[in-house]
Chains A and B, each alone.
Chain A
Amino acid sequence: MSLLIVKPGLLTTVQDGGRRGLQHLGVVPCGAMDRVALALANALVGNHAGEAVLEITLLGPQIELEEDSLVALCGAQFEASAGDGDLPGDRPVFLQAGMRLNLRRAVRGTRAYLAVAGGIAVEPLLGSRSTYLPARFGGLEGRALLAGDSLPLAADAARLAASRYDRLAARATSRKGVHSVRWSVPALTLPEHEPIVLHAMPGRHHDEFDAASQRAFFDSQWRVSPDSNRMGFRLSGATLARPQGGEILSEPTCLGTVQVPANGAPIVLMADHQTTGGYPKIAEVAGADVPRLAQLAPGGTLRFALCTLAEALELRLALKTRMATALRAISWEYGK
């Protein structure tokens, strides 16, 4: 049982809920950049939230299915087809063996997640199947997928696909060989319009930046630089100055930490960020807003809105509630 990669796309990697408990050895969680889309895609095919999926970036892959499969595509909206039909997003889709998926390009958002019932069955390393590109391990040989790759699926993936799709029969529909349903879940992380607004708390070294820089950080518009990647999003816009700034001793960093190196251009740390860093931290992006940032492409614009820790926790709770509503709706469709 496997998925055959005919064309790999721009950057397609295996990702899951990430690695835990090894940051003291320099291993970051990595995992899907948009955890919300990951959880929704998995739920739509009946997997648990952190199962391994394909993370697809801007230009998608062509994939041939070796067996009958139940798949779901969440996160970025792609121009996508399955065989001769369109591949609809944000819902479970049953496809027969031999079908070719063609994910052409993202029309909204940046990162899509393709979940398959039973999950992608590459060997877990250190408790996760996520690809960790900087150290080249995890996923498939620690690298982005290439043409000709064969990705293992669960041994019972075809059986899971049939039995799970059976439970959705009441509101199923079929067109040009693409079997799907007449409902979908809302995309919770796609940008409505740019600049997107990210809530951020002042970081440990915020007060060491000069007043103009503090204002500029929260008042001005930022653009995601082309040299952004899964480690961090570099932002261009104002130049931030920390006048009495000496060197900082390396200290732990988090997903969403905003560092400012000596050149004054901030970097938001993303899923593959280093565990410790020696640059001053001007802000910490609220965890609930990181998945929306993951959906911005280079050139995308954003603003930061000052928030408190309590507000950041409220945002997390609000997102959790929206997620729970979507997950309940999926469970209901599965007749659970």
Chain B
Amino acid sequence: MYAEFSETLDLEVNEALQSLAFTLRARAPAWVHEIVPALTGVAVHFDPEHADLPAAPLAAAEALIRECIDAMPSRAAGRTIEVPVCYDPEFALDVVEVAEKSGIEPEDIALRHSRAEHFVLMVGFSPGLPYLAGLDPALALPRRATPRTRVPAGSVAIANLQTTVYPFETPGGWSVIGRTPLVLFDPARDPPSVFSPGDRVRFVAISRIEYARLK
């Protein structure tokens, strides 16, 4: 069941639905096995084979969502995390292009990116991959016309008004402006992902030496 709260991306709506997702997670009965906050709504996946599944599961899921909307706190109880990023040109594969298109110097791009507070709107597409709001509008550019076939793991990349960080080496169309030494997704760790939906994120600029030390 998918409850959508907006047809457009809106930070306030997303913060509210993160709060709803936390509340749902705390109150969900055993027949609900996934609560997935996305950009504009929350999906509640239930197990149709579960012994306790109510006779009318959709109505029960809707009642649960309504109950949690009434009970949820106004601000999501997300964590605030710091993520070290090296903005050195060695890792910032597209910084020259971003500088040309935005008219902002590379050093200033790093500054503008790291001083903003970012917010995890959603984790999806691949394990541990965050969609972060909070990019300085001066850095907003469309996706690259030709996606890179290989974006290195840890790459911090921007497109439109968002930032993402690639947990694995994959193809990608966002502009890469830095790299984190953190392992973003490790299935042997609990929790496995550095980023969770609803987290507030600060990117902390580090040097190549610090990057090498943390790697």
By a beta-carbon cutoff of 8 Å, the part of chain A in contact with chain B is 20-27, 125-126, 132, 134-138, 204, 249-252, 254, 274-277, 287, 309, 313, 316, 320
Contact = CB atoms under 8 A, between A and B. Distances in A.
Given A24-B21, A26-B126, A275-B125, A252 B2 contact: yes
A137 B187 contact: yes
A33 B147 CA distance: 30
B124 A274 contact: yes
B41 A125 contact: no
B33 A25 contact: no
B154 interface: no
Contacts of A23: 34, 36, 43, 45
Interface string B174-189: 0000000000010110
Given A25-B191, A26-B127, A275-B125, A249 B39 contact: yes
B40 interface: yes
Nearest to B41: A251
Contacts of A137: 187
Interface in B38-57: 38-41, 43, 45, 48-49
Given A274-B124, A276-B124, A251 B39 contact: yes
Contacts of A135: 126-127, 167-168, 185, 187
Contacts of B127: 25-27, 132, 135
- Highest count of chain B CB atoms <10 Å: which of A204, A250, A254, A309: A250
- Highest count of chain A CB atoms <10 Å: which of B38, B125, B127: B127
A249 B40 contact: yes
A126 B192 contact: yes
B48 A251 contact: no
Interface in B158-215: 167-168, 185, 187-188, 191-193, 196-197
B38 A276 contact: yes
A252 B168 contact: no
B61 to A, nearest CB: 13
A23 B122 CA distance: 11
B33 A24 contact: no
B126 A24 contact: no
B39 A250 contact: yes
B9 interface: yes
A22 B38 contact: no
The 10 tightest CB contacts between A and B, nearest first, are: A276-B124, A252-B43, A25-B193, A26-B127, A125-B187, A137-B187, A23-B34, A252-B36, A249-B39, A23-B36
Given A126-B192, A274-B126, 17 more contacts: A21-B34, A24-B21, A24-B34, A24-B123, A25-B191, A25-B193, A26-B193, A132-B127, A135-B126, A249-B38, A250-B124, A252-B2, A252-B41, A274-B125, A287-B48, A313-B48, A320-B49
Given A25-B127, A26-B125, A126 B187 contact: yes
A250 B48 contact: no
Interface in B112-138: 122-129, 131
